[in-house]
Amino acid sequence: MKRKAEKPELSELLVSDSSNTNQTYLWEKAEVRLVSGLGDRSAYGLPDEKGCIVLKMDNAVNMQDAGLKENDVIYSIYGEDIDSVETLMRLTNKYKWKKTLLLECFRNQQKLKISLVLD
């Protein structure tokens, strides 16, 4: 019994590379990044870790006109959840023909619907 206790079997530890969690991307003239971690969930009042945070939109007049603001979290487009920046880009391209995106966003822990006219 003592021998077994001396050499316990350990499960393999899997470590994911989280170095890109704060990487920013350009989306329709705005700088965005993916929501990551409980800190973002708490800070933005999100129910889970989905969505992209709008960091800067200096030249995005159409976004400003639609009522989108910096630090808003784009949570879904036409009801389809944003779980990655790639999904944000894919859904934007999917609905680009409509010339308008219906966004569900979070601002100050409140859910908003924003109609964004694309350039």
Cβ-proximal residues to 77 (8 Å cutoff; 6+ apart), any chain? 88, 91, 92, 95, 101, 102, 103, 104
d(CA 82, CA 109): 17
d(CA 47, CA 44): 9
Q: Which of 18-22, 23-27, 84-88, 108-112 has the lowest mean pLDDT?
A: 18-22
Question: What residues pair up with 73 in beta bridges, in sequence order?
Answer: 53, 106
d(CA 86, CA 82): 9
pTM of the model: 0.80
Instruction: Return the pLDDT at 12.
Output: 44
Q: What CATH number belongs to 23-117? A: 2.30.42.60
Instruction: Return the pLDDT at 5.
Output: 55
Confidence of residue 3 (pLDDT cuts 50, 70, 90): low
- Per-residue pLDDT tens digits for 73-82: 999 999 999 9
Instruction: Return the pLDDT at 11.
Output: 38
